[in-house]
Amino acid sequence: MVAILSELRTDRLILRPVRADDLPAALEIHTDPRTNLHNPTPHTDQDVPETLEGWLEHWSAHGFGYCAVQLPASGEIIGFGGLRTLHLGDEVALNLYYRFRPSAWGYGYAPEMARAVIEWAQRAVPGTPIVIITSVGNGPAIRVAEKLGFRKFREGDYGGAFSAFFRFP
C-alpha cells in the first residue's frame, strides 16, 4: 500500500511527516506520565528514539504515517497522530493514533487531526478499514473514537492491555 501524504492543514493545525529532529517533542510528549495513564508499558527516554525511527521507516516504506501536529502561528508541536498500516489477523487496516501534550487537551485537536487523516485515507486508500485500539479504561480516547463515528467491534488483549477495538465506518 503506497499512498503519498505530504502535509495536511485544518482550520487550526498543520499535520506534517515526522522528522528525526522531532525527537525532543516526541520525548516530552511520550514520556509525560499523564500521557501514559492507560499505557501498560509507559514510554521511556530509551524507547522513544526507537519508536520515532519506526515511524520514519513506515513513512519511507508507505509514503504516509504518524504526523507531527503543529500550531500554525507558533510552529509548536502539540502532539503526534495519523495512520499506520496494521495487520489484524488476515486483514490489513490503518491504525489511527493520537497523543497530545496535556496542555493541548480539551481543545478538540485530536478529533480535528483525526478527521483530516480519515478524509485523506478515504481518497488515497479507499476501502481500507481504519481502526482505533485503546485500553478499555481510556475514556477520553473512547469518546474521540465515538465522536468520529467509529464503532466498537471487539475487546481483547493488545500490547498487554485489555483493549477496545473500534472500526470506521
Q: Please report, rounded to a whole number, the percentage of residues in the chain having pLDDT higher than 90.
A: 88
Those residues with Cβ within 8 angstroms of residue 41's Cβ, 6 or more apart along the chain or in another chain: 159, 160
Q: How far apart are CA 59 and CA 5, in angstroms?
A: 9
Tens digits of residue pLDDT in 81-94: 999 999 998 999 99
Q: Which long-range contacts (CB under 8 A, 24 or more apart) does 153-161 make?
A: 158/133, 159/40, 159/41, 160/40, 160/41, 161/38, 161/39, 161/40, 161/135, 161/136
State the chain's mean pLDDT as an integer. 95
pLDDT band for 156, please (50, 70, 90 cuts): very high
Q: What is the pLDDT of residue 2?
A: 64
Q: Is 108 helix (H, G, I), strand (E, B) or coil?
A: coil
Tens digits of residue pLDDT in 10-29: 999 999 999 999 999 999 99
Residue type, 63: G
- Whether 100 shows a pLDDT value over 80: the answer reads yes
Q: What is the pLDDT of residue 4?
A: 85
Kindly state the average pLDDT of the residues 50-64: 96
